[in-house]
């Protein structure tokens, strides 16, 4: 597969690392009816690369710099949402990193499971010097997707937050919420992750099946961040929200399950919300925030030929906590 020629505003990256997000699996396996997959599909949107060439008008990068690319590579730049730094909500259609429309060529975008990328410099994130590059890659999707709701709903140190699902997004949510000194509780279906949740910064970890704990924790949480990749009955989690609390669903992007009880939401003035990654400025912010505090993903490095096996392990909830493809072979990092 080839890349477009480097235009005046473009950066050519030699890809060094690319994280594996569960979204890659949904797209590779055509599991999102609203965004049918165009094949050949090259997934990957947690990309760290070394700048190998820059276009004539590029000002923010020079050859040899390290850049990051997350879930989007372009947007119209002129709609209200783009002007508000919400390029991921572009009213004229965000160009996502793969399985989307390349505004420059009209062709299908191709992601980071690749040797090279050509990306407009506006959509390349500066990676602070000294960063652990493999462990920084997941910040570009898992990090920003969980940081953005904490910013929007103003999660503070006095608050209680629950993280539902301890995978790639979930483990970043725990680290980022703990960094704000919020009280974090993890809700997991995997008994083996209870100990990990506490190591990652949670005060408590509860199994979904633990009815006594679910009852004890009713009406307590200001914010719940749900990273579960599929629809599931949400009312038991709505019951955990305190007055004015919000359950932010970032995980399940297909049709949600019914079963929410209007009386319960009205009585507690509770909200169900969604959130999509974060804008470019906010993505730069989370990368800088994590670099300043030494926050990084827990990663397991794999070689390209191990991707299929890694996908199966992600689906089996057996990733601790992000697979990252090592593409440094033959390149100077």
Interface ranges with ligand NAP (CB under 6 A): 21-23, 26, 141-142, 145, 165-170, 188-190, 193, 227-230, 232, 250-251, 253, 275-277, 314, 317, 319
Q: Report which residue's Cβ sits closest to Zn ion.
A: 21
Q: Which of residues 20-59 bind Zn ion (CB under 5 A)?
A: 21, 23
Q: Which is nearer to Zn ion, 150 or 206 (CB)?
A: 150
317 binds, among ligand NAP, Zn ion, none (CB under 5 to 8 A by kind): ligand NAP
Cis before 321? omega within 30: yes
Tokens (6 digits) for 81: 């949402």
- Shortest distance (Å) from residue 88 CB to ligand NAP: 7
* Using rule CB under 5 A, residue 314 touches Zn ion: no
Q: Is 253 in the site for Zn ion (CB under 5 A)?
A: no
Q: Which is nearer to Zn ion, 21 or 135 (CB)?
A: 21
Return the bridge partners of 248, or none.
225, 273
The option from ligand NAP, Zn ion, none interacting with 26 (CB < 5 to 8 A, set by class) reads ligand NAP
Written as one string, the DSSP assignment of 279-311 is -HHHHHHHHHHHHHHT----EEEE-GGGHHHHH
Q: Which is nearer to ligand NAP, 52 or 276 (CB)?
A: 276
Q: Which does 162 bind (CB under 5 to 8 A by kind): ligand NAP, Zn ion, none?
A: none
Smaller CB separation from ligand NAP, 18 or 166: 166
Q: How far is CA 45 from CA 40, 162, 277, in A?
A: 16, 26, 11
Q: What is the Cα–Cα distance from 116 to 15, expressed in whole angstroms?
A: 5
Q: Which residues contact 290 (CB under 8 A, 6 or more apart)?
A: 136, 139, 143, 296
For 67-141, where are the alpha helices, taking DSSP H only?
A: 80-83, 133-136
Q: How far is the CB of 275 from Zn ion (least distance, A)?
A: 13
Least Å distance between CB 218 and ligand NAP?
20
**Nearest distance from C-beta of residue 66 to ligand NAP, angstroms:** 22
Nearer to ligand NAP, 50 or 322 (CB): 322
Distance CA 253, CA 240 (A): 22
For residue 13, what are the β-bridge partners? 51, 117
Find the shortest distance in angstroms from Cβ 132 to ligand NAP. 19
Helix (H) or strand (E) holding 116: strand 116-120
State the Cα–Cα distance between residues 112 and 14, nearest whole angstrom. Answer: 10
Torsion of CA 311, 101, 17, 113, to 10 degrees: 50
Residues in region 109-148 near Zn ion by CB under 5 A: 141
Query: Site residues for Zn ion, window 71-90 (CB under 5 A)?
Result: none
Q: Please say which residue, 229 or 245, places its beta carbon nearer to Zn ion.
A: 229
Residues engaged in binding Zn ion (CB under 5 A): 21, 23, 141
């Amino acid at each position: 597969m080839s890349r477009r020629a480097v235009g005046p505003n473009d950066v050519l990256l030699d890809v060094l690392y690319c994280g594996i997000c569960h979204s890659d699996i949904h797209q590779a396996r055509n599991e999102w009816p609203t965004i049918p997959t165009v094949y050949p599909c090259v997934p990957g949107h947690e990309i760290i690369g070394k700048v190998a060439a820059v276009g004539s008008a590029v000002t923010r990068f020079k050859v040899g710099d390290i850049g990051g690319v997350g879930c989007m590579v372009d947007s119209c730049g002129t709609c209200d949402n783009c002007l508000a730094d919400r390029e991921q909500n572009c009213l004229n259609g965000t160009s996502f990193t793969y399985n989307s429309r390349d505004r420059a060529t009209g062709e299908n975008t191709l992601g980071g499971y690749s040797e090279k990328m050509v990306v407009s410099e506006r959509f390349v994130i500066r990676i602070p010097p000294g960063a652990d590059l493999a462990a920084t890659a997941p910040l570009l999707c898992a990090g920003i997707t969980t940081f953005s709701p904490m910013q929007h709903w103003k999660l503070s140190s006095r608050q209680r937050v629950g993280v539902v699902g301890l995978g790639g997004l979930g483990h970043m949510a725990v680290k980022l919420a703990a960094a704000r000194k919020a009280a974090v509780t993890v809700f997991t279906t995997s008994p083996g992750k209870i100990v990990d949740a506490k190591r990652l910064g949670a005060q408590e970890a509860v199994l979904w099946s633990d009815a006594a704990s679910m009852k004890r924790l009713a009406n307590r949480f200001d914010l719940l961040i749900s990273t579960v990749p599929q629809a599931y009955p949400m009312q038991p989690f709505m019951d955990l929200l305190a007055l004015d609390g919000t359950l932010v669903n970032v995980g399940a992007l297909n049709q949600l399950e019914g079963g929410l009880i209007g009386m319960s939401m009205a009585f507690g003035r509770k909200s169900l919300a969604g959130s999509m990654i974060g804008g470019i400025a906010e993505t730069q912010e989370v990368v800088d925030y994590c670099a300043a505090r030494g926050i990084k993903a827990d990663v397991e490095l794999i070689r390209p030929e191990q991707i299929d096996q890694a996908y199966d392990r992600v689906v089996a909830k057996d990733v601790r906590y992000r697979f990252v493809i090592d593409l440094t072979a033959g390149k100077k990092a």
